[in-house]
Amino acid sequence: MSGTHEARLAELGVTLPDAPAPAANYVPFVRVGDLVYVSGQISMGPDGLITGKLGDTMDVEAGAAAARTCAIALLAQCKAACGGDLDRLVRVVKLTGFVNSTVDFTDQPEVVNGASDFLVDALGDAGRHSRSAVSAAALPRGVAVEIEAIFQVS
């Protein structure tokens, strides 16, 4: 049975994938009290990794779409941390977004808005969060965006 959050995701045409497995020696999330810390989720679409460098091979719109895929993976991890019940998500507390970008690219906030806007669209006020959006000279496997999150859960 789908809960409130998943019903809203369905309205947006989004089905959460299985939570991605970690790619190295770390865990995908850690729960401490009512907080879930989710490891960085990299931009990935149905055809594999979304790679590129903002300000060179990608524009802001493509970067924002890549950030949106990170947000979907973050929710999938949060759902896994909540035993499969996404309605235990109380709110998104913080996102930290890393954007693979050139030295002179300064629109990192607009790129990470792809994740922020999606979370607010999907979760309403529970999706509003604090945030950092920073540039990175390179990201793992050449991906365009990586985002980590902190969620409050019940």
What are the pLDDT digits (tens) for 139-149? 999 999 999 99
What CATH number should be reported for the domain whose range is 4-153? Answer: 3.30.1330.40
Q: Edge to edge, what strands does the sheet with 145-153 contain?
A: 29-32, 35-42, 145-153, 89-100, 130-136
pTM greater than the 0.85 cutoff: yes
Element of type H or E holding 136: strand 130-136
- Domain range annotation of the chain: 4-153
Per-residue pLDDT tens over the stretch 41-93:
999 999 999 999 999 999 999 999 999 999 999 999 999 999 999 999 999 99
